[in-house]
Amino acid sequence: MSRRRTASRLARILAMLPWVIANPGSTVGDVSRRFGYTSEKDLASDLDMVFVCGLPGYGPGDLMVAYIDDDQVVVDTADYFEGAPRLTPAETLSTLASALAVVASGQATPALESAVDKLAGTLAPETALEVDLAGEPELVGSLRHAAADKRVVNLTYTSLAKGGTTVRDVEPWSVFASLGNWYLVGYCRLAQAERIFRVDRIRELSLTDETFVPPAATPEPAVRYTPSDDDVRCVIELSEEARWVLDYYPVDVVEDGDGRLVIEFSAADPSVAARLLLRLGARARLVDGDEVRHALSDLGQRVLARYT
């Protein structure tokens, strides 16, 4: 299970338990509708996760009871969950500031705007708290309209990784901001695959009259790397201490079992894989990939030269 799914599942469990305790006799349907469970099996799995959890000394009277009895959801011996988790003042202010930033971007839903107004009125009724974002780049509005109208756009784009400039037709799915930059995600007809473009690297933009049909389910807008046919690829064997690489890099698992973890790593530049290998040291071994091997040797010599 990915870290994001794990965090989402834990958050739902922590919200669900206090509500069930406060509403004895709740049915499977009641809990499912309120907390978004799509099947009784998923709800039962979450209850099994917290069953016999508790605080020290771990005796029968200290551990939680959580199960489904006929159609009723039962949670008992969990007094510490009677009240929902409470944010600290710093956490509350941070949450409010983040929500205000979304409102300032113009992408907030009416429900979020209403929640922000209520939270601001409760948290700081006599204090002005304002969060503003820098103005959108000139092309963002055009790209957002193109995505909404499902119109193909023609881009002149300069790649950061390769430094080259290409002209390509793109089917825009969405425009989003992350870490101070704006991005376009969509289907690139030149690459014949999903691609993410930084808006400030689009040199020219023109909207065509051609429309497209988007996929039924588009990926969640997020900055991520999508391997291409031109990428440098290498095969790396990782130790268990380096398993975290699977969560942070675009890799394909070649072998995972009997104490052996082998991945295929893709990057636009061999120095990306070389820097990772240098960082991992004895926790990783390059199995195959001549370009990366040469880049790793060169990088190692340059690092060594600094200390001699």
Q: How far from 241 is each of 23, 248, 284, CA to CA, in Å?
A: 44, 14, 9
Residues 6+ apart with CB under 8 A from 94: none
- The CATH class for the domain spanning 232-306 reads alpha beta
- The CATH class for the domain spanning 138-211 reads mainly beta
Whether residue 252 is predicted with pLDDT greater than 70 in this model: the reply is yes
Check if the beta carbon of residue 252 is closer than 8 Å to that of residue 264. Answer: yes
Is it true that 138-211 and 232-306 share their CATH fold? no
In the prediction, which pLDDT does 303 show?
A: 72
Domain parsing of the chain, residue ranges: 3-81, 90-123, 138-211, 232-306
Q: Are strands 260-267 and 232-238 parallel, antiparallel or unpaired?
A: antiparallel
Coil, strand or helix at 265: strand
Q: Encode pLDDT of 265-296 as tens digits.
A: 887 778 878 888 888 888 999 999 999 999 88
Q: Report which of residues 158 and 87 the model is more confident about.
A: 158
In the prediction, which pLDDT does 308 show?
A: 58
C-alpha torsion sign, points 254, 256, 262, 266: positive
Other C-beta atoms lying within 10 Å of the C-beta of residue 249: 16
Q: Encode pLDDT of 289-305 as tens digits.
A: 999 999 888 888 877 77
Coil, strand or helix at 289: coil
Whether residue 185 is predicted with pLDDT greater than 50 in this model: the reply is yes
Q: Encode pLDDT of 186-226 as tens digits.
A: 999 988 888 888 888 899 999 999 999 988 887 776 655 56
Q: Encode pLDDT of 95-132 as tens digits.
A: 777 777 777 666 677 888 888 788 777 766 555 555 55
Closest by CA position to 265, among listed 48, 257, 275, 92: 275
Whether this prediction's pTM lies above 0.85 is answered by no
DSSP single-letter state for residue 283 = G
> Mean pLDDT in the chain?
79
3-class secondary structure per residue, 149-218: HCEEEEEEEECCCCCCEEEEEEEEEEEEEECCEEEEEEEECCCCEEEEEEHHHEEEEEEEEEECCCCCCC
